[in-house]
Amino acid sequence: MAKKLSIIALLLVCAICAHAETILLRTGARVKGSIIFQNEEVVIIRNAEGKRFQYLRTDIEDVLAVDPEDDEEVEMQQEGQIETPKKVSIVLELFGGAACIPNGAIGGAAGADLLIGSHHIGDKHLFIGGGIGYRGMFFADEKFNFLPLQVALRMPFIEQKHAPFFGIALGYGIALSKEYLGGLYGGIDFGYRYQINEKSALALSVFAQFQQAKIGVVEIVDGQDFVNTTFRNILTPGVKFAIYF
């Protein structure tokens, strides 16, 4: 009976070794063992001593299979293995701030953007995409509304859960009134992003944007007011909150 139990135990050990894996962390560390559970957010591995370790997907660079004969690590191709997390994300951005026309009026601004694009390129949580938005600029006696069509980039400076990032956007703002015309639109962001998991993140940033518009500007010549219709840049600095999902 003892001999049979020893044989069974040996077979179990061999089965575990035959399916050994190595988790390569983004820090460069390697953890060898057998994966006993994994989903889109975490991986749990048990080492040769029977201890269990849990790692977030965002902290894992790669998962490698170990060949039991020559201990060579190769990329896993197991059936049912979770592949690289989804590469397409939707970004909702809400913002508010000031609005000013150089050498002109100063007021407030608010708006939103809805962007769709790639959120995971290679091993980076780099967002590249495009979308549509809304810009409302409010002055004492005037109101300008635009619908910007844009391409956007959001890039973290480091690949960590907590990371500073910068962003740029460029497009064309469509005027929502016949009283003025739209024009080129652009913006730049600097802020902080928290990566919740491979699918979602939160971001808070300060930004500066410009919207080109052909508007009527009052000019005083010899004590008389004249309305000069010309292209002017409406500048908008402020604060932005974003959700990636």
- Averages of pLDDT over runs of 10 residues in the chain (245 residues) are 48 48 81 85 85 85 65 42 60 96 88 90 81 93 92 90 94 92 95 86 95 75 66 93 93
At residue 113, the pLDDT reads 96
Fold of 88-244: Porin (2.40.160)
CA dist., res. 159 & res. 151, Å (int):
23
Decide: 32 and 41 in contact? Cβ < 8 Å.
Answer: no
Query: 2-75 and 88-244 share one CATH topology?
Result: no
> Which residues on adjacent β-strands are paired with residue 45?
35, 53
pLDDT at 120: 72
Pairing status of strand 224-244 against strand 88-100? antiparallel
Reported residue count of the chain is 245
Q: How is domain 2-75 classified at the architecture level of CATH?
A: Roll (2.30)
| pLDDT at position 167 | 96
Give dist(CA 216, CA 101) in Å, integer.
Answer: 12
Task: Enumerate the domain spans of the chain.
Answer: 2-75, 88-244
